[in-house]
Each structure stands twice: as structure tokens, then as C-alpha cells.
Copies of this chain bind each other. A is one copy, B any other.
Amino acid sequence: MIRVGIIGASGYAGAELARIICNHPEIELTVATSRQYEGKPLSAVFPNLRGKVDIICENPAPEDLAAKADLFFAAVPHKTAMDLVPLLLDGGKKVIDLSADFRLRDVTTYEDWYQPHSSSHLLAEAVYGLPELYRTSIKESRLIANPGCFPTSIILGLAPLLKAGVIVPESIIADSKSGASGAGRSAQTGSLFCEVHDGFRPYKVGRAHRHTPEIEQELSVLAGKDINITFTPHLLPISRGILSTVYATLASKVTSETIQKLYDDQYQNEPFIRLLPEDTFPATQYVRGSNFCDIGFKIDQTTNRIIVMSAIDNVVKGAAGQAVQNMNLMCGFPEETGLLTAPMFP
């Protein structure tokens, strides 16, 4: 039994980690931290967990944390994470960080988009935790940078196409839509029910969202050259789910069959990628509560573009589920352990 800890258990990703962990047969939740709810049962903060999770929230000093578990999920905001992670690694622990602090390999880029980095010496070591691309490295790493939710949906959708060189990298436009849990659980006017319900809006349009450099970093690796994309996030009146509609110009005329084969070749053995049949498109409600990424595409012959659509549950494949998938790899468990529940519909 591996002892695991959740740092920052009072956010939605922390709660989802606890929900997944409580039925995972190989691990035990030994510590859950929260400044705000110290001393309170986590199941009082998230009553869905009542009867399933009986841990009490703690707020230990950073130096006391490492002793409390063998592996940690850091679900705290960026900047907080970068200060904590070295202490845990120095204590001989494995860390899966759900913040952005170790996702960008280039410290300058990080500091351009965020703030000064206190642990930049760890950037070279951190592995970008997208198992479909970095499975081997993840298995051997002690520090995983768990990908952002938007990047997960976009990168998985484009990887086979970029690797095969069938699209023009400079033409990529990602129009992404996310549920409100992506904004976190902090009390902000813009996240109130009445502000989000029965509405829809774009935000941080035009290279303003911090997921942009992360997406570009990984797409550049896949394309074999530095590329920029246009990325527009939108806020959906749903709790969970991201759907990205990604447009790219085809490098040459290709058939749907050729494209389908590229996806099959790369993903057919992936446990959490579901490729959709022709003229079938993904929907957030069909991945809800699961670690699946559903991918469909359509070629628009007239304009010589391909439209790739991918859907994930941002709290699962976009955060907690992917983190557990990474943990399974790091600990030598079967990759799907604890992540087998079928999506919930309706």
C-alpha cells in the first residue's frame, strides 16, 4: 500500500483526487492539506465524499509534510507549488504537480507568463505528464508536471497530425470551451451561478491565456519546429468538460482514411483515447466523470482544412484523473487502476 497525500485538497482538483483515490486498491490517502479547512473532515467540505473519505484536513509546516506520505499530488496554485516541491523531493518523495510551475521547460518563457521561478533547477528534470506522449519518461520520473486542461485536449487532438506532417503548423487555431470548474473554487463574482448560468463567453482572447505557451511548447516538439498558434478559451455553463475545436490547413490533399489511420496507429492501444467513427463528433457529456479523451475529425475539402474535435472532463483527464494515471505509471500499477468508471450520462 503506497501512502499518498493531497496538498491543496479543498479545490475541485483536490476533491476529485480524493474521490478517485478512495476506490483505488493500491494506495491510501494519508494526508490532505488545506489552510482554510484545517481540522475539518474533507467530507464536510465536499459532502459527496461522506462515507467514502474520512480524512481530516491538516495544515502542516512544509518541512513536516514529506514524512506523511510516499507520493504527493500538489493541487495548489502555481508559485505555491514551486516552493513546496523541492522540500518533498529532498525528502525522497515522488511528486505530481498539478500547477503550471514545472510544465514549461524554458525558464524565461515561464517567467514571461508567470513570475520569477524559485526552483528552476528542477525544470530540466520534470516530465510533462501526458502519458500518451511521455509514458516511458513518466515511469522513471520523480517529478511530473501534470498538464493543463486545455493543453491536454488540444495536444492529444493534434499529435498524430503534427507528427505525420499532414497539417501546416502555422495554421493552427484552437477554439476551446471549458466548464466552470476550470476557474477553481475561489469565491469570485465572475464565477457565481448567476453570472455563468444560461450564458456563454470568450475570455483571455488573443495570446492572453497562460496555457498558450504550454500548448505551443508541446506542439512545437511534435512539429519539429517552433510554432505559434491562436488559442481562444470560452466559458461554458457546465460544471465539467472541455471541448476543443481545432482548425488547421492540410499540407496536401489527404483522404479521411489516411487521417483515420494516423490516429489509429498512434492511439489504438491507448486505454483512455477513444477515436470516433467518421461523422461522429465528441461531446463533453459523454466523457463526464471519466479519464477518456474522445477525438473526432472532419475534412473540409472546399477550404482544404481539417477540423479536429476533442473532449475531456477537465477535472479528470484534465487534472486529477491524469494525475492518477501518471501515479500508476510511476508506481508500476496497471495504468487504468482506479480509473475504470464509465462516463456518467445523463
Using CB atoms and an 8 Å cutoff, list the residues of chain A in contact with chain B: 12, 15, 19, 22-23, 46-53, 170, 173, 175, 177, 180-181, 185, 187-189, 191-203, 205-207, 228-230, 232, 234, 236-241, 243, 245, 247, 274, 276, 280-290, 292, 294, 298-303, 305, 307, 309, 315, 340-346
Contacts and interface: CB of A to CB of B under 8 A. Distances in A.
28 contacts: A12-B194, A15-B345, A47-B280, A47-B283, A47-B286, A47-B294, A49-B342, A50-B274, A173-B173, A177-B177, A177-B200, A185-B194, A187-B187, A187-B192, A193-B195, A193-B196, A195-B346, A197-B198, A198-B198, A198-B241, A198-B288, A201-B283, A201-B284, A202-B243, A206-B298, A228-B302, A230-B305, A232-B307
A59 B138 CA distance: 47
A307 B205 contact: yes
Contacts of A303: 170, 228-230
Contact of A48 (B50, B52, B173, B343): B343
Contacts of A181: 194, 346
A96 B84 CA distance: 53
A189 to B, nearest CB: 5
B281 A239 contact: no
What secondary structure prevails in chain A residues at the interface with B?
loop
Number of copies: 4
Contacts of A340: 23
A289 B240 CA distance: 14
B19 A199 contact: no
A331 to B, nearest CB: 21
Contact of A193 (B15, B191, B232, B280): B191
Given A15-B345, A47-B345, A48-B343, 12 more contacts: A47-B294, A49-B342, A52-B342, A177-B200, A193-B239, A198-B241, A201-B284, A205-B298, A206-B300, A207-B302, A232-B245, A344-B344
